[in-house]
Amino acid sequence: MKKLYKIFGYVILIIGAISMLLPFIYMICLSFMPEKQIFSGTVTFIPNPLVCDNYKYVIKTVDIIRYFFNSMFVAIATTIGQVIISALAGYFFARFEFKYKEPLFMLILVSMMIPPQVNIIPLFYIMKQFNWLDTYWALIVPGLFGGFGVFMMRQWFKSLPEDMESSAKIDGCSMFEVFYKIALPLAVPALATLAIFTFITAWNSFMWPLIVTNSDSLRTLPVALANFKGSFREITDWGALTAYSVICCIPVIGVFLLGRKYFINDILSGGIKD
């Protein structure tokens, strides 16, 4: 019976993997197909002939280097900032005792339950008061603070044994040295996992960059991709659009592949308590 359950589990996993990978694989195949084959009416995964005209057209007609730089700069800055702030706040909540600690942490948890769309108008007004509209500040600063990151790092630091930290304090280390030299290196899997989630969220962000930027020089890739598609009255170049989409996906896949070892280690060790 156990073997049957195991086989059934593998079948479910394979079906799920195929259902998620198939559209992405088909998008890559479409990006290398000529326009005639795309509109032939038959579904095929093999380009005939295999061409790179769609990518050449995107590079020639779109300032994709500028958009790519904007997305990369915003995503990296947001990721670094949120990882640092979440690590400090998480350690503070895990190891320090202070007045109103629990109510304050509950407020952070409640903030995770509020839909992001609810905060758009207040955030927009705040950005306007700081004269940050149509600047990198408006794209980066709101993403530096996240309840999920604080909660995740707090739970990770609470799961670490305090014996090593206590020994370091006896040896004369300050609280910051204990955090920097002991707790932070042990939290690398959690930090990498948070960095992956934050980078993907910042990279794929569409609504907020669309609202706070007007200049073409500040557009990120998702916003530029929507503009590239055009209005409903225009004929969409699906080959070029899929090529553009593939380019947008490359950094996200690269970040996950670079951090997958730490991501998997964090998932596997998440339920282990000393």
What tens digit of pLDDT does each residue of 151-174 get? 999 988 888 887 777 777 777 777
Shared-domain flag, residues 151 and 96: yes
Q: How far is CA 259 from the centre of its chain?
A: 12
Which residue type is seen at 265?
A: N
The overall average pLDDT reported for the chain is 86
Q: What was the pLDDT predicted at 265?
A: 64
pLDDT category of residue 100 using cuts at 50, 70 and 90: confident
Q: What is the DSSP string of 171-186?
A: TT--HHHHIIIIIHHH
Mean pLDDT of 1-9: 80
Distance CA 222, CA 3 (A): 45
Shared-domain flag, residues 47 and 73: no
Predicted confidence (pLDDT) per residue in 224-257, tens digit: 888 876 544 456 778 888 999 999 998 988 888 8
In a domain, 190, yes or no: yes
Shared-domain flag, residues 20 and 73: no
Residues 6+ apart with CB under 8 A from 174: none
pLDDT category of residue 115 using cuts at 50, 70 and 90: confident
Shared-domain flag, residues 27 and 71: no
Contact yes or no for 132/138 (Cβ under 8 A): yes
Contact yes or no for 155/92 (Cβ under 8 A): no
In a domain, 274, yes or no: no
Contact yes or no for 236/229 (Cβ under 8 A): yes
In a domain, 40, yes or no: yes
Angle between helices 188-204 and 238-269 (to 10 degrees): 160
Range of the domain at 37: 1-51
In a domain, 15, yes or no: yes
Distance CA 179, CA 161 (A): 13
Shared-domain flag, residues 171 and 215: yes
Shared-domain flag, residues 104 and 141: yes
Distance CA 238, CA 235 (A): 9
pTM of the model: 0.85
Query: Which residue, 12, 28, 51, sits at the end of a domain?
Result: 51
CATH code at 172? 1.10.3720.10
Q: What was the pLDDT predicted at 146?
A: 86
Shared-domain flag, residues 45 and 69: no
Radius of gyration of the chain (CA): 23
Predicted confidence (pLDDT) per residue in 138-151, tens digit: 999 999 998 899 99
Shared-domain flag, residues 156 and 250: yes
Shared-domain flag, residues 201 and 123: yes
In a domain, 57, yes or no: no
Contact yes or no for 204/222 (Cβ under 8 A): yes
Shared-domain flag, residues 174 and 46: no
Shared-domain flag, residues 43 and 79: no
Number of domains making up the chain: 2
Shared-domain flag, residues 140 and 234: yes
Distance CA 145, CA 179 (A): 20
In a domain, 56, yes or no: no
